[in-house]
Amino acid sequence: MRFRMIFSMSVCGFTPCTLWALGSVAFMVKLLNYGRNVHVFGKPSYINIDVVNNKAVRSGYFSVVTIMASAAIDQFGTMLAKGVLVTVHDMYMGTLPIRPLESYLHAVRRFNVQSFRYQPRTDDLATSGKKLAMFLKSQKPHTADEAINFVTHGYGALVLREAFRTVDWNYTKSKVVMLGPPNRGIRYHKSMKKYLGVAGYGGVAAEELSTFSAEALDERLGKLPRRCYPLVLAGNLCLNPFNQHNYPNDGLVMVEETTIPGEFRHQVIGAPHYLLPSYPTAIALTQSFVES
């Protein structure tokens, strides 16, 4: 019974030790939530204040810069000095792995964090990408000088690349940080599908991803838009005893599976997949990249 429990937790790239570490991360999230105000798509939690003729005018949920200047002010009255940063979570464990990073970028670095949520258990890649594309259209700047940055974790990178297929983003400046992205699929999921009949923990997105070859994903998603500058961070600490043969990997995604067509910066970090967003080196690299 104990072995079966360990196996069920390990097949998706994490072991009981990792889960214990994630419990610690959850506690950190509670601490970081002081002063945190991350906007979740569809449930705005901030107020945009447009300054027009020296008068503050309350604007809509997705307003942009109008006349003279614009500033986002959170519920504590703190002005957000940085621009918009959109986060897209991974396929499994929801938003838990990426929340500490969101909290840090918002509360400490003062980014206007917009957190996009999707449903990988019921939606395929096309559906999730379409929803994100609608969200991006509402956030797209009116001028070429404004920038919107992105941070994705795992499968979230594929959702973003899928969204870019239907949004004209070639003239919008963006920096994209991809944490452990399965840009060329997940070989481990293919093996699970072959021998166990299920990819990962199942769900529409995981089952669909297990059917894509690396070449098919490259052809479908292609390069990022012209003015997008990507940083890909891959983990190489595997805590999954059932995925030791696909080394190096982060317990789920192989390092070579994180690459994308075109030019990109690539760095390997000694962290497992689900702890990659909260790993100090990854946080520091993400911060320096989006702020440079």
pLDDT of residue 21: 52
Q: Is the pLDDT of residue 145 over 70?
A: yes
DSSP line for 209-265: HTT--HHHHHHHH-SPPTTEEEEEEEE-----TT--TT-SBSSSSBGGGG--SS--E
Quick one: which of 124, 126, 138 has its CA closest to 165? 126
Cβ proximity of 212 and 185 under 8 Å: yes
Domain 2-45+82-291 fold: Rossmann fold (3.40.50)
φ/ψ bin of 158: left (φ > 0), alpha (ψ from -120 to 50), beta (otherwise): alpha
Confidence of residue 174 (pLDDT cuts 50, 70, 90): very high
| Type of residue numbered 248 | P
Contact predicate 254/246, CB 8 Å: yes
Global pTM reads: 0.76
Highest mean pLDDT (candidates 30-44, 54-68, 276-290): 276-290
Burial class of 122 by CB neighbour count within 10 A (0 to 12, 13 to 18, 19+): exposed
Q: How far apart are CA 38 and CA 159, in angstroms?
A: 20
The residue ranking higher by pLDDT, 150 or 139, is 150
Q: Considering the chain, what percentage of its residues have pLDDT values greater than 70?
A: 72
Please state the rounded mean pLDDT for residues 216-221: 96
Does residue 187 register a pLDDT over 70?
yes
User: Residue 81's pLDDT is what?
Assistant: 54
Mean pLDDT score across all residues of the chain: 79
**What does the pLDDT look like over 41-80, one tens digit per residue?**
543 333 332 333 333 333 333 322 222 233 445 444 444 4
